[in-house]
Amino acid sequence: RPTKRIVCLGEILIDFVPEENGRPLSQVPAFQRAAGGAPANVAAAVARLGGSSRFIGKIGRDPFGRYLHGTLEDAGVEAALVETDAARTGLAFVSLRENGERDFLFYRGPAADMLLEPAELHAAWLDDAAVYHFGSVSLIADPCRAATLEAARRVKAAGGLISYDPNLRPALWPDEETMRRVVLEHIGLADVVKVSEEEAAFLAGKEPPEAVQYLLGLGAKALVVTLGENGCCVLTRTAMTSIPGVRVKAVDTTGAGDSFVGAMLLKLVEHGITAESIESALTDEDTVRDIFSFANKAGAFTTTRRGAIPALPTLAEIEMLSVR
Ligand code: ADP
């Protein structure tokens, strides 16, 4: 596959982010509007760093949908958006703790992004995908769940690399057991899976490092465990490499994981890594360091500004960050 296109599909919404940290949601005096949604953030992260990305998703035919469309295009993402009258564009209200951790309140009616249908996937949106990235809430219910998996199957059959970030948000699922079962099913579909330490432990029902071995046994070829300010750990069945984090003053961690994933996927493509070669490529320590110190910097930078897409770095901004 000569293409370098990174295709993301699923959640897209507007986060309303507080202008100051440390207040509960009901006491936030003013919000700023920030485009988000995990896979939309990843597509924007790739484009902001100079890569080629497309986002596939559904928006309401309303001002918020138009704002999201414009935001993707301004970021340099090819926006493959379906507009609907059947639902409104997704919204989330966010409150931030002093350390930048966030709490959410979602408008979910369901929102338009959850109504993407398999029949709405144009072949041309998937044909040139070197990488397909999916995850988060688009797997909660049909029709978006069916569309998410259909796209994964098509890109996989054509030899593309499949990337998955479960991005667990238990509050949005019917119950934790359903969430765990569904997410475990999808880990086997992917070549590379990114999880946080807490997600790994929850999904496996075991403590690290047993959790990691269990998850790799499900079929993914590489597992990337993000560790917040401590960076990340990259695992295959035969290798494990820890890459230390970058010290920054975090104000809002929204989008850090997505920024990290976008940077990681861009580097994987630049290294020419495919579904077939990823396992052996990630046993080489120099390759892992090159890819994941870059991803750590992208994640760290994103915590220094509010919101997700507005906080994504350019290449020049990443180069200005120094490693601990
Ligand atoms: P998620 O946003 O998916 O919960 P993390 O919080 O672990 O994931 O963040 C993803 C990546 O972003 C981390 O692996 C790290 O590289 C970077 N990062 C996150 N928080 C910080 C922080 N406080 N300081 C420096 N880097 C951070």
pTM value is 0.94
Does residue 226 have its Cβ closer than 6 Å to ligand 1?
yes
**pLDDT reported for residue 324:** 41
Please, where are the H alpha helices in the chain?
38-48, 63-75, 123-127, 144-157, 176-187, 197-204, 210-216, 256-270, 278-281, 285-303, 315-319
**pLDDT reported for residue 227:** 96
Establish whether this prediction's ipTM goes over 0.90. Answer: yes
In the sheet that holds 161-165, the strands lie side by side as 78-84, 53-60, 5-9, 129-135, 161-165, 192-196, 222-226, 232-235, 240-243
> pLDDT tens digits, residue range 213-255?
899 999 999 999 999 999 999 999 999 999 999 999 998 888 9
Does residue 52 have its Cβ closer than 6 Å to ligand 1?
no
Residue nearest to atom 20 of ligand 1 (CA): 228
Q: Determine the atom of ligand 1 nearest the C-alpha atom of 165.
A: 3
Does residue 292 have its Cβ closer than 6 Å to ligand 1?
no
Q: Determine the atom of ligand 1 nearest the C-alpha atom of 254.
A: 2
Interval between CA 208 and ligand 1 midpoint (Å) = 18
Q: Which residues of the chain have pLDDT under 50?
A: 323-324
Does residue 260 have its Cβ closer than 6 Å to ligand 1?
yes
Does residue 307 have its Cβ closer than 6 Å to ligand 1?
no
Instruction: For each of the domains in the chain, give its residue range(s) and CATH number, in order of start.
Output: 5-11+38-88+114-319 (3.40.1190.20)
Give the Cα-Cα-Cα angle 272, 38, 98 (nearest 5 degrees).
120
